[in-house]
Amino acid sequence: MAYAPNAPELAVEALRTERPDAFAPAPQFATTFLRFRVNQPPFDDIETRRAFAAAIDPEALAVALGEVRTAAWHLVPPSTPEWEPPPVPPWRWQQDRLTTAQEKNRWEYLYNSSELNRSVAEVLQAQWRAALGVEVALTNQEWKSFLAAQRGLEYQVSRSSWIGDYLDPISFLEIFQSDAGNNRTGWKDKVFDKLIDQARGEPQAEVRRLFLYEAERRLLDQAVIVPLYHEVSLELIDPRIEGLHRNLRGYVDWGRLRWKPEADT
């Protein structure tokens, strides 16, 4: 077998250290993040959301996941062309404790069942326990049930991800406009909506970029989402093959794959 598109999650760490010749994870134009349901307690309170967000250390998470994925501090991937991300909100480094009343709350994290998502959930659970002293219950659902729950806002905080449709920040940001079908947080923010609309109507690239920069800053500062990591492709390829090129959207130009000349092997 010369090529396998998805290495098993449990083998990632071993592959990275032992078979770097056959395992070349490539960054994807995708971000995995948390969504808070912001229109109902407990996460209608911005300070609670910020406390939960500040408790998360994406760098430690990336290490725990086998060091192939890059830690994310932003929704828009750093690989986006001609894009300068806004600063990470300063409160991410100020860990607030919860009130005693809040500590007694029932906290629940929802994710769709998968090996990777389970590991992520357990790391988050540990980080929240360490920083906030709360025990967050982990609930997993099969894909379609999960989607229905997320869409119907039947969750507190849930695992999410987004793959950009095209190489532009707006492809990530516009999903959080108030009336967007993929918002799925209950977040309605006039400032954010206007920034996205302005970006859409702005012909000057430099000005447009400023609107999007402000939009992402707003989204992160309001702690509607918490970026976790940027996804990578986990391909295995026979080291005797050369010419594997994949663009950011994940498409491989199969025509360029070649067996290396015999002398090299």
Shortest Cβ 142–other proteins spacing (Å): 7
Residue in 81, 181, 201, 203 binding other proteins, rule: CB under 8 A = 181
For residues 33 and 73, what is the distance between their CA atoms, to the nearest angstrom? 9
Contact present, 213 and 84 (Cβ < 8 Å): yes
Q: Angle 190-201/205-221 helices, nearest 10 degrees?
A: 160
List the one residue out of 5, 260, 27 whose CA is nearest residue 164: 27
Nearer to other proteins, 141 or 156 (CB): 141
Binding of residue 144 to other proteins (CB under 8 A):
yes
Binding of residue 10 to other proteins (CB under 8 A):
no
Binding of residue 147 to other proteins (CB under 8 A):
yes
Binding of residue 182 to other proteins (CB under 8 A):
yes
Nearer to other proteins, 148 or 191 (CB): 148
Which one of the spans 87-95, 97-105, 142-150, 232-240 is the region binding other proteins (CB under 8 A)?
Answer: 142-150
Binding of residue 39 to other proteins (CB under 8 A):
no
For residues 225 and 216, what is the distance between their CA atoms, to the nearest angstrom? 11
Binding of residue 262 to other proteins (CB under 8 A):
no
Which one of the spans 47-55, 65-73, 96-104, 139-147 is the region binding other proteins (CB under 8 A)?
Answer: 139-147
Phi, psi dihedral angles at 34 (to 5 degrees): -100, 140
Which one of the spans 60-68, 116-124, 126-134, 136-144 is the region binding other proteins (CB under 8 A)?
Answer: 136-144
Residue in 151, 200, 245, 260 binding other proteins, rule: CB under 8 A = 151
DSSP letter for 252, please: B
- How many residues in the chain? 265
The DSSP bridge partners found for residue 30 are 163
Question: How big is the chain by its Cα radius of gyration, in Å?
Answer: 20
